[in-house]
Copies of this chain bind each other. A is one copy, B any other.
Amino acid sequence: MPTIIQVAAMAGVSTATVSRVLSHPDRVSETTRLRVLEVVDSLGYKPNVAARTLRTLRAAKILVTVPDISNPFFASVIRGAEEAARDAGYAVVVGDTRHDPSIEDQYADMLSSREVDGLVFLGHRLPDNLRPMISKQGARAPVVNGCEYSPDIGVPSVHIDNAAAGCDALEHLVRLGHRDIGVVTGPHVSPISRDRLAGAIQAAERHGLRDRLQVRVGDYSAQSAAGHVSDLIAQGVTGLFCFSDEMAMGAISAIRQAGLSCPDDISVIGFDDLPLARFFQPGLTTIAQPKGRIGHQAVELLVNILRGGESLVSQITLPHELVIRSSTRAIG
């Protein structure tokens, strides 16, 4: 592997000039620039990134951690993040934490060891070993939270208004005439799940349906929702609001297995608007999140911090949208 020294020797210039040709072309005369570039090409020289990082204190890499990479929702967020990162000259390191705090910590260490310049974490838990950094550097710490958001951890974040979204979903079911409504939430530790539930409860109260609301706890997986279905059917539920499309699909599958039909017997509304939601049968009514934009903006926020930007915008709320397809229908 050629080094800058060999390039310099072969081009008959100093290493400084070679470096300048590559990073500040305008500070070098055209003739030498061309000559150097020719040597660079012929040798196939590529600067050693470790050496550069060591010298410049910049790894040009951003870490994005997700609790579950096989969740299509996160895949879309990552894609947005990756795009924004590439535009800003950063590569993305993806960490799949599998909801495991020790793996989260492991990845967070990459920040402390300067393997990456910043972190976007898509989950609700701020890794413990980042606490000191956050409390020391405050909003200038290169850490951004995506999707979820916890006001208490003091980290900028990008998300939708989950309470409003929860409210919208429930309102939609009520508007269709449903009175006995079931809700399958995410885990209680998830702030966005709590927000959605709060929104849903508030809407239910507004219509005097608080007492008839059947709330069950899921974990965003299809299985977890399917498991609650027979119980909810027994309770006479006609409308069901699941906090993820996967759970909605699981629930619909279970409804069918119970010999009932969605939407004829039970209307189901999901959350996220996964790419497959429209191809599911029945087409899934759902709350669409701007997945790509969430990732995109989270990275932009982070890059801003890394550039020492003063912005200090700490919370970005993006719009959600109720997408009505055929898994919900007026009662009767």
Contact = CB atoms under 8 A, between A and B. Distances in A.
Interface of A: 1, 44, 46-51, 53-54, 59, 61, 69-72, 75-76, 78-79, 82, 86, 91-96, 103, 106-107, 109-110, 112-115, 132, 222, 226, 246, 249-250, 252-253, 256, 275-276, 278-281, 283
B112 A275 contact: no
B276 A246 contact: yes
B276 A49 contact: no
Given A48-B54, A51-B54, A54-B54, 16 more contacts: A48-B114, A49-B115, A50-B115, A69-B79, A71-B75, A72-B72, A72-B75, A86-B106, A91-B110, A91-B115, A92-B94, A222-B275, A249-B276, A253-B280, A253-B283, A280-B280
A124 to B, nearest CB: 20
A71 B114 CA distance: 31
- Copies of this chain, count: 2
A50 B70 CA distance: 30
25 contacts: A46-B109, A46-B113, A46-B114, A48-B54, A48-B113, A49-B110, A50-B50, A50-B115, A51-B54, A54-B54, A61-B93, A70-B75, A70-B275, A78-B94, A82-B94, A86-B106, A91-B95, A91-B107, A91-B110, A249-B279, A249-B280, A252-B279, A252-B281, A253-B279, A276-B276
Contacts of A106: 86
The 4 closest A-B pairs by CB, nearest first: A50-B53, A94-B94, A50-B54, A46-B112
A275 B275 CA distance: 14
A93 B92 contact: yes
Contacts of A279: 222, 226, 246, 249-250, 252-253
B61 A70 contact: no
A320 to B, nearest CB: 19
A50 B46 contact: no
A256 B278 CA distance: 13
Contacts of A93: 61, 91-94
Nearest to A103: B86
Contacts of A69: 75, 78-79, 82
A107 to B, nearest CB: 8
A72 to B, nearest CB: 5
Contacts of A249: 276, 279-280
Contacts of A91: 93, 95, 107, 110, 115
Contacts of A53: 50
A186 to B, nearest CB: 17
A112 B54 CA distance: 18
A72 B106 CA distance: 25
Contacts of A47: 113
A46 B133 CA distance: 13
A96 B94 CA distance: 11
A111 to B, nearest CB: 9
| Most chain B Cβ neighbours within 10 Å, of A44, A75, A250, A279 | A279
